[in-house]
Every structure is written in C-alpha cells, then in structure tokens.
C-alpha cells in the first residue's frame, strides 16, 4: 500500500496523462480487467489518470468513441470488423477475452418449446442493445440454424436487472447476456442455457472457432498520435491480465467493490471461477481469432458480407509484445 501511495503522490507531482475510457457495462465479468486494473492501481503506476465511464450497452460506448467523447472503449472486438465495412477504422490494442463470455438463455416456462435456435421463428429475442455484440451473435445463431432474420424480433433489454425482468415477465422468449446475469437467473431457476459461449470449448462448438471478444479498442488515428499513452495503457492491462491468471476467483473478488456482486458474492466468485479460462494472460490477439469473427459477421450481416476486410487493420499486438 505504501508503494502505491508513493507512486500516486509522484504521479500527482509531475502530472499524469489524462485518458477517458468507456466500458459497455463495467459490472460485467467479461470487462473485469477495466475495473480490476483500477483497483490494483495499475494505471497510476503507468502515470495515467484514467477516467472510466460505464454505459450499459456496448454500442453506445462505440458511438461515444466515434464522436470523440472518449479516448478508448472496453468493448467487443467484432465492432472493429463491422466498422471497417462502414469505412471507419478502430483497432484492438490489447485483448482480454478469447470467448464472448455470453449465453443464450430461455425462460424455464419455454424449455419444452425452444430446444435450439432453430425454434426462434416468431420469437422475441432479448439483446443488450441493437447493434451490440449480443445482437450480432443472436442474429448469427438464428441464421446458422435456418431461421431468416425477418422471422425474429430483437428487443433491446440491457443487462442485469432489466434483462432479468424482461425474461421473467415474458417480454422476451429468449435472450443473450453475460455474467453475472447468467448465474443469477440459473440460481433462481428462472432460466436455462440454450447456447453457451462462456468457455473456449463451448465457443468453438457454437461459432466454429475462438471468438476474440472483450478488448481495449481505439480509433486508429488516435494510436498514431498517442503511441506512448497507448503503450502505458497496454502495460497496465497486461499486468491486470497476469494478475487474473495467477490468482483464484476468490482472491480477485476480494479486490472488487461490493456493488459488483449484485448482493451475492459467492455466485460472483463461482461465475468468475467457471469462466476464468476466457481471459488471455498475454493480451495477444490469436491469429485464428479474427477470421472466425469475420466469418460470423459475414454469416448474417449484409453490411459485412461480400466486403473486403483487412483484418490486419482491426488489431495490433505491437504494444502487447512491448509491454513491461
């Protein structure tokens, strides 16, 4: 603690670089490195004054980045592919997750009626927001299982309490969400998992390969003008990822604010323990990951299908390779 205090005092004396990051729901376990890095003092150690803002939906964070309101976003890598198809360039500079960390849930009352995504026809499906990664993956699952997109309705219901309420009161017939929302619904018996994408093995089965997901992405133009700051951000996140890799779920949870547990710390610890394998300790983008993302988006998106996408411009491992 003394070393952290001295570091903070030294940073204040010389003036830290201010960076504003937006997170698409900071309480979500998939975005754990953002909150944990703050708790560990990893940003301060890199002489960074990082302001973290949270929006419940990732697409809103993307919009803030494109508008120049924030410097970077902790969100899903697939936005980099989708945006390039629209002529806009962002790139992941450090990867957190090798899987979406999400699951398609169905309410217990419909278990006998919805046995696979092939039964989505005529159904209302919950997503965090339109244009979000849960939206992308929901559409892909429907098309993959032979259900035309015109035959489903997508309803944005957020995550956490709003997602749970939508599922339990019948506004959605199925929905995609993340931890700890998944575990909360399973524990109460309100829902069951239809498609699991929380582990590497389950993700390969559902999507055909590893699906790079949570990352820190920034506008490509920002990287060119802020290389030193980008490197220090990546240094902080790589340290945080290594902490996740070398500590158990209970030890990690002990570092987190109590409000992240939604009143049930034990369930949070269990969900984190079961999904810890999704986090990459190195922060590197695997070579076989981006092609899977492109294949998934091309499977349903008229925006991406048929477009020439230069995947090398959607991410870089340069800063991770140089991380201290």
Rg (CA), the chain: 19
For 273-310, write each residue's pLDDT tens digit: 999 999 999 999 999 999 999 999 999 999 999 999 99
Question: What confidence score (pLDDT) does residue 324 get?
Answer: 77
Q: What proportion of the chain, given as a percentage, has pLDDT over 90?
A: 89
Above 50 in pLDDT, residue 25? Answer: yes
Above 90 in pLDDT, residue 127? Answer: yes
Question: What confidence score (pLDDT) does residue 293 get?
Answer: 97
Question: What confidence score (pLDDT) does residue 1 get?
Answer: 46
Q: Which of 134, 78, 146, 143 is nearest to 104 (CA)?
A: 134
Q: Which of 192, 164, 184, 179 is nearest to 105 (CA)?
A: 192
Question: What confidence score (pLDDT) does residue 13 get?
Answer: 43
- Confidence band for 4, pLDDT divided at 50, 70 and 90: very low
Q: How far apart (Å, rounded) are the C-alpha atoms in residues 279 and 181? A: 18
Question: What confidence score (pLDDT) does residue 57 get?
Answer: 66
**Lowest mean pLDDT segment, chosen from 60-69, 169-178, 182-191:** 60-69
Above 70 in pLDDT, residue 6? Answer: no
Above 50 in pLDDT, residue 46? Answer: yes
Above 80 in pLDDT, residue 11? Answer: no
Q: Which of 60, 61, 289 is nearest to 52 (CA)?
A: 61
Domains in the chain and their CATH numbers?
Answer: 2-99+211-321 (3.40.190.10), 102-197 (3.40.190.10)
Question: What confidence score (pLDDT) does residue 58 get?
Answer: 62
pTM above 0.75, yes or no: yes
Whole-number mean pLDDT of the chain?
93
Above 70 in pLDDT, residue 12? Answer: no
Strand order in the sheet with 124-127: 153-156, 124-127, 174-178, 102-107, 191-197
- Confidence band for 103, pLDDT divided at 50, 70 and 90: very high
Above 60 in pLDDT, residue 80? Answer: yes
Above 50 in pLDDT, residue 155? Answer: yes
Q: Which two tokens stand for residue 68?
A: 């120049």
Question: What confidence score (pLDDT) does residue 16 get?
Answer: 84
């Amino acid at each position: 603690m003394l070393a952290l205090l001295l570091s903070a005092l030294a940073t204040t004396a010389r003036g830290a670089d201010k960076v504003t990051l937006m997170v698409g729901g900071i309480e979500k376990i998939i975005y754990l490195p953002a909150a944990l890095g703050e708790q560990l003092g990893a940003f301060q150690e890199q002489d960074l004054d990082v302001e973290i803002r949270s929006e419940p939906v990732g697409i809103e964070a993307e919009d803030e980045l494109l508008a120049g309101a924030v410097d970077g976003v902790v969100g899903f890598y697939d936005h980099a592919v989708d945006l390039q198809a629209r002529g806009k360039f962002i790139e992941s500079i450090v990867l957190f997750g090798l899987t979406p960390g999400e699951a398609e849930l169905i309410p217990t009352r419909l278990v006998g009626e919805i046995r696979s995504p092939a039964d989505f026809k005529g159904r209302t499906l919950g997503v965090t927001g339109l244009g979000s990664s849960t939206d992308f993956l929901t559409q892909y699952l429907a098309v993959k299982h032979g259900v035309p997109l015109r035959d489903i309705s997508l309803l944005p219901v957020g995550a956490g309490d709003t997602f749970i309420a939508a599922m339990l009161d019948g506004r959605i017939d199925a929905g995609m969400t993340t931890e700890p929302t998944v575990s909360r619904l399973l524990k109460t018996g309100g829902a069951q998992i239809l498609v699991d994408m929380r582990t590497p093995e389950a993700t390969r089965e559902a999507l055909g390969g590893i699906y790079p997901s949570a990352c820190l992405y920034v506008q490509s133009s920002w990287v060119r003008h802020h290389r030193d700051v980008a490197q220090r951000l990546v240094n902080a996140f790589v340290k945080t990822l290594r902490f996740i890799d070398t500590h158990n779920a209970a030890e990690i949870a002990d570092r987190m604010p109590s409000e992240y547990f939604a009143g049930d710390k034990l369930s949070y610890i269990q969900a984190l323990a079961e999904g810890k394998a999704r986090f990459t300790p190195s922060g590197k983008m695997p070579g076989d990951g981006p092609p899977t993302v492109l294949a998934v988006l091309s499977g349903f998106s008229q925006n991406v299908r048929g477009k020439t996408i230069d995947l090398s411009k959607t991410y870089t491992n340069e800063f991770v390779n140089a991380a201290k």
